[in-house]
Amino acid sequence: MRLKLQIWRQENGEAGGQFVTYELADASPEMSFLEMLDVLNEQLTERGEEPVAFEHDCREGICGSCGMMINGQAHGPMAGTATCQLHMRHFQDGDEIRIEPWRSAAFPVLKDLVVDRAPLDRIIESGGYISVNTGSARDANEILVPKPAADRAMDAAECIGCGACVAQCPNGAGQLFTSAKISHLGLLPQGQPERDRRVKRMVETMEDYFGSCSNYRECEAVCPKGISIDFIARMNRDYVKALIRGE
Amino acid sequence: MAKLIQLYRSSVGKKFLMAASGIVLFGFVLGHMLGNLKLYLGPESLNRYAEWLREIGYPALPHSGFLWLFRLVVLGAVGLHILAATQLTLLNRRARPVDYRGRQVVEADYASRTMRWGGVIIALFVLYHLAHFTLGPSWAHPDFVPGDVYHNVVVGFQVPWVAGFYILANIALGFHLYHGLWSMFQSLGVDGESRQGWRRNFAVAFAWIIALANISFPVAVLTGIVS
């Protein structure tokens, strides 16, 4: 496959950036998108140029490290896949592909396609935990968890924190991520003691960094794990309830 | 009150209050549309209805007392709705200072992407509409007769560009209502089957009903069904 890549290059957070066009003559349809970038980086290194910086780790869609805007869509054109799981067979020979970093006031660009997603960690720190008593380990089945609650909590827990929801949202909102993390704990009996405090603190931390929700549903559409915006509705209700109850 | 202010400080709370004020405004446009259907029952019926609106609660309340109370509630809802929308829009602009070279729209429909401008069009239309049929200065209405609503409506809509503006504004209202009614459930935290369930049907049904009925009034005058 012959590809024309327009990639955002930026030296560091302070420097301005620009799109640079690269020709890649020998991409294979079997490559993943990241492997295609690896090949480009090999060629750049051989030519003595700086390789394109991008984040990656597991390359099997579970770590949430990789993520870039591919032709204006977070994680590219395939639904339910992270960038590492996107394969070049979904592109045509001769395609022009534009690759940009996530854009959000909360995610400053560090270098090329790498952004600082630390605000997502700040949200987790503010309430993404449960109380665990010290002492001897309790029996695993001592706390009964209704099956529907366990299933739904698991759906929310699928969130890998890649930030695609923020990147795709026209408002740069962090509701899908935050609501998934709140629901994942708040749906389970173990998450009840801090339920009100959790939703209040996590929502308020989220609002220090991100925009608000206009129900565009763009986040849900690009989420590699298919997290439902129903969790956002659940978070909204939990937040208002927590305020009424006086947390 | 302190809790309401605390709620309003957050963007989740602003959306909640936008939904709450949206319910008031939805109730208003629905009632307004239903009342206007009396246009089809003739001058007597429509004018008596308009007169009754001023007399609700009389003599317990002064003349037009209830009407003014009602107007204040609607005005408050409009104010809150616009204030929250403006503040959220500014917040959202700040959250994405650098945009993509070409962001692909994946899922967001036309209605959701035109909420802000749709809202502006509706607000401007309402101002014009108040001048046209409530205040009736000569620049807005060619022959305004206070109290004769039927006459005012029929004469007013005989001007084609005025009727056209009403039709356009109500198309904008239909789109705004569709996304607004659907979003309302989300902002109020009604959980479960977000996409194709009864919430979407509810939003689609009322957006069509209100827009079509409102559009039928100028169309009926222009085509001579009502004269």
- Give the DSSP H or E segment for B7: helix B2-9
Contacts of residue A224, defined as CB under 8 A and 6 or more positions apart, other chains included, come to A61, A75, A80, A81, A82, A85, A160, A162, A164
Q: Which residue of A has its CA nearest to B116?
A: A214
Torsion of CA B213, B117, B106, B204, to 10 degrees: -20
- Give the DSSP H or E segment for B24: helix B11-36
Task: Catalogue all structural domains in chain B, each as residue range(s) with its CATH number.
Answer: 11-95+109-222 (1.20.1300.10)
pLDDT of residue B198: 86
Three-class DSSP labels, B177-212: HHHHHHHHHHHHCCCCCCCCCHHHHHHHHHHHHHHH
Quick check: helix, strand or coil at residue B38? helix
What is the nearest CA distance from A171 to chain B, expressed in angstroms? 5
Quick check: helix, strand or coil at residue A3? strand
pLDDT of residue A135: 86
On chain B, the residues whose CB falls within 8 A of the CB of A170 are 92, 96, 103, 108, 113
Instruction: Check CB contact of A237 with chain B, cutoff 8 Å.
Output: yes
What is the nearest CA distance from A224 to chain B, expressed in angstroms? 14
pLDDT digits (tens, 9 = 90+) for B167-193: 999 999 999 999 999 999 999 998 766
Query: How far is the CA of A202 from the CAs of A126, A129, A174, B60, B63, in angstroms?
Result: 6, 11, 11, 50, 51
Q: Which of A25-29, B100-104, B129-133 has the lowest mean pLDDT?
A: B100-104
On chain A, the residues whose CB falls within 8 A of the CB of B14 are 212
Q: Is the dihedral of CA A169, A170, A174, A176 positive or negative?
A: negative
The two tokens of residue A154 are 């698991």
Hey, are the CB atoms on A218 and B186 less than 8 Å from each other? no
Q: Which residues of B touch A (CB under 8 A)?
A: 3, 6-7, 10-16, 88, 91-92, 94-108, 112-113, 115, 179, 182-183, 185-194
Contacts of residue B57, defined as CB under 8 A and 6 or more positions apart, other chains included, come to B65, B66
Q: Which residue of B has its CA nearest to A106?
A: B95
Instruction: Check CB contact of A216 with chain B, cutoff 8 Å.
Output: yes
Contacts of residue A207, defined as CB under 8 A and 6 or more positions apart, other chains included, come to B10, B11, B12
Query: What is the C-alpha to C-alpha distance for residues A97 and A91, in angstroms, rounded to an integer?
Result: 9
In this structure, the strands spanning A96-100 and A3-10 are: parallel
pLDDT of residue A136: 85
On chain B, the residues whose CB falls within 8 A of the CB of A107 are none
pLDDT of residue B167: 98
Task: Catalogue all structural domains in chain A, each as residue range(s) with its CATH number.
Answer: 3-110 (3.10.20.30), 117-244 (1.10.1060.10)
pLDDT of residue B193: 65
The A residues from 143 to 172 touching B (CB cutoff 8 Å) are 168, 170-172
Hey, are the CB atoms on A239 and B94 less than 8 Å from each other? no
Residue type at A221 in one-letter notation: A
Pick from B212, B223, B157: which is nearest to B37 by CA?
B212
- Read off the DSSP letter of residue A117: -
pLDDT digits (tens, 9 = 90+) for B22-60: 999 999 999 999 999 999 999 999 999 999 999 999 999
Instruction: Check CB contact of A215 with chain B, cutoff 8 Å.
Output: yes
Query: Between these two residues, B102 and A212, which has the higher pLDDT value?
Result: A212
pLDDT of residue A95: 97
For residue A27, how far is the Cα from the chain centroid?
A: 27
Residue B196 binned pLDDT confidence (cut-offs 50, 70, 90): low
Query: How far is the CA of B161 from the CAs of B53, B133, B165, in angstroms?
Result: 29, 16, 6
pLDDT of residue A2: 97
User: Could you list the pLDDT tens digit for every one of the 247 residues in chain A?
Assistant: 999 999 999 999 999 999 999 999 999 999 999 999 999 999 999 999 999 999 999 999 999 999 999 999 999 999 999 999 999 999 999 999 999 999 999 999 999 999 999 999 999 999 999 988 788 887 878 889 999 999 999 999 999 999 999 999 999 999 999 999 999 999 999 999 999 999 999 999 999 999 999 999 999 999 999 999 999 999 999 999 999 998 6
Q: Which residue of B has its CA nearest to A229?
A: B194
Residue B102 binned pLDDT confidence (cut-offs 50, 70, 90): confident
The two tokens of residue B227 are 């004269």
pLDDT of residue B1: 83
In the block, residue with structure tokens 């035109």: B114
Q: Count chain A–chain B contacts defined by CB atoms under 8 A.
A: 142
On chain B, the residues whose CB falls within 8 A of the CB of A5 are none
User: What does A177-240 look like in DSSP terms, one character per residue?
Assistant: HHHHHHHHHHTSGGGSTTHHHHHHHHHHHHHHH-B------HHHHH-TT---THHHHHHHHHHH
pLDDT of residue A27: 95
pLDDT of residue A133: 78
Interface-testing mutation among A99, A196, A217, with chain B (most B C-beta atoms within 10 A): A217
Hey, are the CB atoms on B189 and A203 less than 8 Å from each other? no
